[in-house]
Amino acid sequence: METPQHLDPGLSEDERATHRAELRAEFTDLPFELKDVALNNYIDALHRLTGPTGRLSVGLREVVVEPVTPTDVDDVLAFFDHDAFAGKPEWAMCYCRFHHASQEPEWGERTWQQNRRELAEALRAGDMRGLVVRVEGRVVAWLNCSNRSTSPQHATGEDDGIACTFCWAIAPSHRGHGLARTLLEAATEHLADEGIHTVEGYAIEEPADDAAAYVGPLSLYRSCGFDVVDHTDKRVTVRRQL
């Protein structure tokens, strides 16, 4: 699967090297090395993320929640290409593959093109499961509710009938309209119909900002009938029996 030409900023290697040097000079206080691949991902994201970052102040119309099918894949890719991480280019390489990626190559060595390709392949093959919200026909929000067995980080070998709400992505323009709750409620119904008996999530108690709430705030899970089953400094594991 080739990357669409319109997503390529068309930079020469010399231009990329200049941009990388500028970024390294700008981000000198980071506690880790900025590798070339990560900087290239960031540079490309600045070109690719064209979605608005300001919130809509009016109510949403023609809201539809639906499971992703192979015919929706191009629309999901376009959402991640342009809207999901608008204003957050450092995260835009993910394409919701963080919880599913193997350790080879390491996460920091991956390109956004690889993650984009894997998302498309996994959705078309049924190896990932997602729900989206469409507003007036356009995808504006996503919830990854794949089986736990698909995640090297979380699979235990006893994963039959267990799905996880791994990640939400909501376009900045459509945050604050209750779409996270809409997706979670729809997911529990859809997963039950799919034969899932347990939904597991990895909540965060106090997200630093909207983007940091991508795994779901604990308050949302509690209000939707989830129970806390494990607690660490960074994450709270929650479950709901369907």
pLDDT of residue 162: 98
**DSSP states of 91-115:** GTT-TT-TTT--SSS-GGG--HHHH
Q: Which residues of the chain have pLDDT under 70?
A: 1, 104
The whole-model pTM stands at 0.94
pLDDT of residue 1: 65
What are the pLDDT digits (tens) for 64-81? 999 999 999 999 999 999
Residues 6 or more apart whose Cβ sits within 8 Å of residue 41 = 92, 93, 111, 112
Residues 77, 28: Cα–Cα separation, whole Å: 32
Q: Are 35 and 1 in contact (CB under 8 A)?
A: no
pLDDT of residue 208: 79
pLDDT of residue 233: 77
Residues 240, 198: Cα–Cα separation, whole Å: 6
Q: Which two tokens stand for residue 165?
A: 């709400």
| Domains by residue range for the chain, with CATH | 5-241 (3.40.630.30)
pLDDT of residue 102: 78
Beta bridge partners of 162: 198
Q: Which spans in 8-107 are helix H?
A: 13-26, 36-48, 73-82
Residues 95, 111: Cα–Cα separation, whole Å: 10
